[in-house]
Amino acid sequence: MADVLVYVLHNGGAFNKNSLGAVSEAAARAAEIGGSAHAAVLGGEELTDELVGSLGAYGATKVFRAKGTAGLAAPVVDFLDAVIEQHGHRYAIFGGGLLGFEIGGGLAARRSAGLTSEVTEVKAEGGELVAHRPILGDSQISVSHYRGDLGIIIGRINAFEVRQSGSGAAEIVDVDVAYQDFSNAAELIIRGEQRGEAVDIEGANVLVAVGRGFGSAENLSLADALAGAFGGNTAVAATRAVVDAGWAAYASQIGQTGKTVAPKLYLAAGISGAIQHKVGMQSSENIVAINKDANAPIFEFSDLGIVGDLNKILPKLTDAIKAKKG
């Protein structure tokens, strides 16, 4: 048997897009190795038969459902461990995201399994699945081959396309999980707090993206002024470093745990171009970056790169754009 199990994350009665992508991917790959794709969901009353069954549309033939606190990794590890123990899944796939790392790591320990993070492509080879992952700043691809009973694949964010391939509703199997003491030791006091005001960066044509290189919250006024000069449908977006520091709103964050954007113009200043940022903006039509470090990774995926100090360049650029627009 070569079945593939996918953990599906959800919040507020909706499934996570990356998890749905993982279900689609699992369905396509399982078919190539003679197996089926199964999904696993954990939560409370919000997981109705209708909602859970709808995973069938993405290619899951069966969905395992357990009661527990959504948003924590450890209960899911107990749950997946029990399901795999009973059904002998050959692979477990996670869409991108934080919980994927935490659950995937826990499950690897629990079942002595091999694990690959940041997978961008899964392929079937000789009845087995192999995982392609970029390494060393995306300069090389490494291919993981698995030994043992279970192989764990943690996708990079947006790596797996959401595809509706299945027919009808999936069969639902309720599972009673015997949780370990430590698995429910963490108490989730607040989940998903939206810090800062609501801003729409997904609908903008032009994004001025700000990074830690600005040095302070006050200095972000340089970016606001530039966005103002572009006018129209322009917004200021940020990296997680800037959001964690409290300089910008969470809603303005691009990247792995933020938004995925694809504006006509993405203009970054003071951003290094970490993988977790890149995955949220690499589909932008035109990428311009200003950074004082000529070796910053962002220059490797910019269409126009300017090696220089944003404090010198932005004010003049703002004036020049204003002048150009007349």
Partner 1 sequence: MALKIAVLVKEVPDAAVQKKIDPATGRIDRSGEKNLNPYDTHAIECAVQLKEGTEVEVEEIIAVTMGPESAVRALHKAVSLGADRSIHLSDDALAGSDVQATGYALAKVLESESPDLVLLGQQSDDGESYTVGSVVADYLKAPSLSQVIKLDVVDGGLRLERQAEYGYDTLQIPFPAVVSVGDAINEPRYPSLKAIMGAKKKPLETKSATDAGIDTGMVGTEGSKVRCGDFHAPAAKAAGQIIEDEDTNETVEKIVAWLDERKLI
Alpha-carbon gap, residue 104 to 70, rounded angstroms: 16
Do residues 226 and 290 touch, judged by C-beta distance below 8 A?
no
CB of 117 to ligand FAD, least distance (A): 10
The interface mask with partner 1, positions 162-181, x = CB under 8 A, is ------------------xx
- Alpha-carbon span 166 to 71, nearest angstrom: 27
Counting every residue written for the chain, the total comes to 326
Per partner kind, with CB cut-offs from 5 to 8 A, the member of ligand FAD, partner 1, none near residue 65 is none
Q: Please identify which residue in 132, 212, 219, 265 interacts with ligand FAD, judged by CB under 6 A.
A: 212
Interface with partner 1 (CB under 8 A), residue from 1, 135, 217, 262: 135
In the complex, least distance from residue 81 CB atom to ligand FAD, rounded to whole angstroms: 23
- DSSP letter string over 263-318? -SEEEEES----HHHHTTTTT-SEEEEEES-TT-GGGGG-SEEEES-HHHHHHHHH
Tell me which of partner 1, ligand FAD, none is bound by residue 158, counting a contact when its beta carbon lies within the kind-specific cut-off of 5 to 8 angstroms.
none
Q: Both tokens of residue 227?
A: 């966005």
DSSP per-residue codes, 117-139: EEE-EEEEETTEEEEEEEETTTT
Tell me if residue 110 falls in helix, strand or coil: helix
* Rounded CA separation 283/161 (Å): 14
Binding mask 249-288 for ligand FAD (x = CB under 6 A): ----xxxxxx-----------xxx-x-xx--x--------
Q: Which of 10, 38, 89, 240 binds ligand FAD (CB under 6 A)?
A: 240
Q: Which of 35, 43, 213, 305 binds ligand FAD (CB under 6 A)?
A: 213
Q: Which of 94, 100, 97, 156 is nearest to 282 (CA)?
A: 156
The only residue of 211, 267, 302, 317 in contact with ligand FAD, by rule CB under 6 A: 211
- Residue 156 binds ligand FAD (CB under 6 A): no
Check residue 292 for interaction with ligand FAD (CB under 6 A). Answer: yes
Cβ neighbours of residue 320 closer than 8 Å, sequence gap 6 or more: none
Q: Are 63 and 53 in contact (CB under 8 A)?
A: yes
Q: Using CB distances below 5 to 8 A depending on partner kind, what does residue 213 bind out of ligand FAD, partner 1, none?
A: ligand FAD
- The structure tokens listed for 142 are 């490494």
250 counts as binding partner 1 under rule CB under 8 A: yes
| Residue 202 interacting entry, from ligand FAD, partner 1, none, C-beta within 5 to 8 Å by type | none
Under the binding rule (CB under 6 A), the answer on residue 318 touching ligand FAD is no
> By CB under 8 A, is residue 198 in contact with partner 1?
no
User: Segment contacting ligand FAD (CB under 6 A): 102-110, 113-121, 164-172, 240-248?
Assistant: 240-248
- At 303, is the secondary structure helix, strand, or coil? coil
172: enclosing H helix or E strand = strand 171-174
| 109 near partner 1 (CB under 8 A) | yes
Stretch that binds ligand FAD, among 35-43, 47-55, 74-82, 238-246 (CB under 6 A): 238-246
Give the number of residues in contact with ligand FAD, rule: CB under 6 A.
29
14 close to 54: Cβ distance less than 8 angstroms: no
CA-CA distance, 204 to 207, in Å (whole number)? 6
- What are the phi and psi torsion angles at 43 (to 5°)? 175, -150
Query: Which residues of the shown chain bind ligand FAD in the complex (CB under 6 A)?
Result: 98, 211-213, 239-242, 253-258, 270-272, 274, 276-277, 280, 290-293, 296, 309-311
